[in-house]
Amino acid sequence: MADEAQAADAKKKKNGTIMVIAGVAILTVIGAGGGWVVGGMIAPKDPNAQAHQAEPAAGEHGEAGKKEEGLPHISTEANGVVLLEPITTNLAYPSENWIRLEVALAFKGPPELTLAENIHQDILAYMRTVSLQQIEGPRGFQYLKDDIKERVDLRSQGKVAKVMFRSFVIE
């Protein structure tokens, strides 16, 4: 009689394990299907898919060489943005540390290239007076940005609307 009770108990445990495995499998299939449907709804549709497929054929005729690769540049005279040449200089202290800074200027009106070059030289001269301790951490970087923005405002007499930092590296 005890053997019959143990056999019935083992049968219930086996049925319970099978039900749990089946439930997890069903939920996994439902979750994967739901993710696929939602991903299909969220994923951007490419209206130029046929144009992208036709590009290799155009490349055979030499037309693809005219088109630029990658993202378009932000700095164009049409939008009033001038990308300054990278500024690479050593810091005031410690003088063995170097800094590389890429800055773009957004002009309020048409860009003035001579003014942009003067601003570039002014930023370069300022960066040579900065010590590493002044620009450490997020607060130091914010102070540096504010100082450069103030110098640009003074130099440009309000012609520059925004100073954009594209890269900032200290070595």
Question: Domain of 87: which CATH number?
Answer: 3.30.479
DSSP 45: P
Q: Where are the beta strands (DSSP E) in 36-90?
A: 81-83, 87-90
DSSP 86: P
Domain extent, residue 45, equals 2-60
Total of domains in the chain: 2
142-164 confidence digits (pLDDT tens): 999 999 999 999 999 989 999 99
Residue 68 lies inside a defined structural domain of this protein: no
Helix axes 137-156, 113-127, angle to 10 degrees: 140
Examine the domain organization and report whether 43 and 111 are in the same domain: no
Residue 145 lies inside a defined structural domain of this protein: yes
**CB count in 10 Å sphere of residue 135:** 20
Rounded to two decimals, the pTM is 0.55
Residue 125 lies inside a defined structural domain of this protein: yes
96-118 confidence digits (pLDDT tens): 999 999 999 999 888 888 999 99
